[in-house]
């Protein structure tokens, strides 16, 4: 995997962490909002924390789409789960939230699972049935994105 691909995965983690944190901060400033009051939710965009959070989450989405174009979903999603640890740290330090030991254990298990995912390949071989083989076992084929230049 190239350095640029690692940067995309890091971008996903950073953009989602900061975007979610700023969005949460801005929405806490606004108080109770609900889908029953759509105008209040739309006006929430005027809050600078909410606005910046939305921009960062859009950057996350663009990075996420890029990563999914060259890696499997089962690789990208777990590989970016460091954001769970970062969000918990921001919530603890920045928002002074109490995080229970059970939540910390869950976050630790998720982070440990990343090690298993990172040890494997970022794309998998796909077994497909060859229509001309009339019931014979399919050939190992790479996903079509392999031929595209995403470097």
Cα separation, 68 vs 149, in Å, equals 14
Q: How confident is the model at residue 63 (pLDDT cuts 50, 70, 90)?
A: very high
37/50: higher pLDDT: 50
Q: Which residues contact 142 (CB under 8 A, 6 or more apart)?
A: 123, 125, 126
Model pTM greater than 0.85? no
Strands annotated E in 6-143: 126-128, 139-141
Q: Could you tell me which of 112, 121, 123, 113 has the C-alpha nearest to residue 146?
A: 123
Whether the per-residue pLDDT at 151 is higher than 50: the answer is no
Are 81 and 110 a contacting pair, CB within 8 Å?
yes
Residue 135 tokens read as 């019931």
Query: For residue range 81-101, what is the model confidence (pLDDT) as tens digits?
Result: 888 889 999 999 999 999 999
What average pLDDT score do residues 26-37 get?
82
Angle, helices 82-93 vs 101-118, to 10°: value is 150
Query: For residue range 122-140, what is the model confidence (pLDDT) as tens digits?
Result: 677 765 555 555 555 544 4
């Amino acid at each position: 995997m190239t350095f640029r691909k690692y940067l995309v995965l890091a971008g996903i983690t950073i953009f989602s962490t900061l975007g979610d944190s700023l969005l949460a901060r801005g929405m806490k400033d606004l108080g109770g909002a609900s889908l029953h009051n759509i105008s209040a939710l739309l006006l929430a965009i005027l809050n600078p924390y909410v606005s910046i959070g939305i921009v960062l989450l859009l950057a996350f989405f663009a990075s996420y789409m890029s990563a999914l174009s060259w890696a499997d979903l089962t690789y990208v999603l777990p590989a970016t789960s460091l954001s769970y640890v970062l969000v918990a740290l921001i919530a603890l330090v920045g928002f002074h939230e109490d995080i229970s030991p059970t939540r910390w254990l869950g976050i630790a298990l998720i982070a440990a699972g990343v090690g298993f995912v990172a040890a494997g390949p970022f794309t998998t071989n796909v077994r497909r049935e060859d229509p001309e083989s009339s019931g014979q076992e399919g050939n190992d084929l790479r996903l079509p994105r392999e031929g595209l230049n995403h470097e």
